[in-house]
Amino acid sequence: MRRHLLAIVATLIGLVLTADRPVPVEAASKAVIQEVTFETVGMSFKGPESVPAGLTLIQIVNKGTDFHHVQLIRLTDGKTAEDFAATVKTAPFNPMGPAAAPAWVHFIGGPNGAMPGESATAVMNLEPGNYVLICFIPDSKGVAHAAQGMMKALKVTGAANAGVSEPKATINITAMDFKLVPDKAIAAGTQTIRFNNAGTQPHEVLVVQLPPDKTIKDFAAAFEPGHAGPPPGKPIAGMTGIEKGGHGFFTAKFEPGHYGLICFFMDGTKQAPHFALGMMQDFTVK
C-alpha cells in the first residue's frame, strides 16, 4: 500500500498544470486577515518564524522542482518542533500511510499541493502555541520530504483579533467517513470553499478537473500499481488534512466541465486509502 501511495505522488509530479494560480480567498474583512507566505526552496520551507494568532491566509509558493504541500500541525502537551522532529526520526508516521500520529499531533490544514512554479492558498484559524509545517510527500525513491529536512517550526503568539470575520463561503464541502459532499451545485467562476470535517478521522480534499469521458474513479484507478502514464485529470485546488470538527477555506476557479473530489488519507484500521472506501465525488460545473 505504501508503494501504491508513492505511485500517486510520482504520477502527480509528472502532471503539467495549466490552470491559473489560486486566487486568494476573499474575506469579509480582508484588511485584517493576515497573509503569510512560505516558499519551498529545495527540501525546505522559507518564511517567518512566528505569526500572530487568528485567521491566517497561508500561501505556499513552490520554487523547487518537486511537488509539495503544506500540512500544518499544532503541537500540544508542551511539545516543541524539536520533540516532533525526534519522534518522526525514531517512529515515523504519515497520514497517507498506516502509522498513527501521536496524540499531541493535531492536523490543522493547509494549502493542498503546489506543482513546481505554482502556488496555493488556504485560510485557517491559528490558536497560540507551537506548530510545524511539514511536507509528507515522498520523492521518487520513497524518501519523505520531511526526512530530507522539509519541516519548519512556527510559533503562534498573542490573542486573536475577535473582530476578524471568516471568509464568506459560496460552497461548503463536508467530509464524512467516507464521503465528500458539496452542499449545492458548483457553478462556473471563482468559488470560495469552506471545507468541514464531520468525520471521525482527519480528512483532506483535492479538487480534480477531469476530461468529459472520465470519472474520479478513473483518476484514482490510474494510481494502481503497474499503471502506466498520467491520470486522466489535473488537480486545481484543495485543503490538506483537518481533524474532526475542524474547518478551513480555499478557493478554486471553475470552468464549465467535469470535476471530482478525492481524499488520499489512509484508514489505519482497514489499511486502505479513504478514496477506496468511498471518498470520491463526481460533479459537473455549468
Taking CA atoms, 194 is separated from 178, 230, 236, 259, in Å, by 18, 29, 16, 17
- Residue 4: its pLDDT value, please? 52
All structural domains of the chain, each given as residue ranges with its CATH number in brackets, are: 2-157 (2.60.40.420), 171-285 (2.60.40.420)
Q: What is residue 93's predicted lDDT score, i.e. its pLDDT?
A: 67
Q: If we measure between CA atoms, which residue out of 146, 109, 201, 212 comes closest to residue 9?
A: 146
Q: How far is CA 11 from CA 28, 132, 135, 206, in A?
A: 38, 27, 17, 15
Q: How far apart are CA 250 and CA 73, in angstroms?
A: 18
Q: Do 262 and 237 meet the contact criterion of CB atoms below 8 Å apart?
A: no
> Residue 84 — φ and ψ, nearest 5°?
-65, -45
Cα-based distances in Å from 24 to 113, 121, 152, 202: 15, 6, 23, 24
pLDDT of amino acid 99: 64
Digitized pLDDT (tens) for each residue of the chain, 286 residues in all = 545 554 454 455 444 344 444 445 544 444 578 999 999 999 999 999 999 999 999 999 999 888 889 999 999 999 999 999 888 777 666 666 656 788 999 999 999 878 789 899 999 999 999 999 999 876 767 677 888 889 999 999 998 777 899 999 999 999 999 999 999 999 999 999 999 999 999 999 999 999 999 999 998 887 776 677 777 888 889 999 999 999 999 999 999 999 999 998 888 888 888 999 999 999 999 9
Instruction: Report the C-alpha gap between 179 and 193 in whole angstroms.
Output: 17
Q: State the pLDDT at residue 29.
A: 41
**Predicted local distance difference test score (pLDDT) of residue 279:** 97
Distance CA 58, CA 22 (A): 12
Task: Return the pLDDT at 27.
Answer: 44
> What would the grid cell of residue 237 be?
485546488
Contact criterion met (CB below 8 Å) for 136 and 144:
yes
H helices then E strands: how many in the chain?
3, 19
CA distance 264 to 94: 12
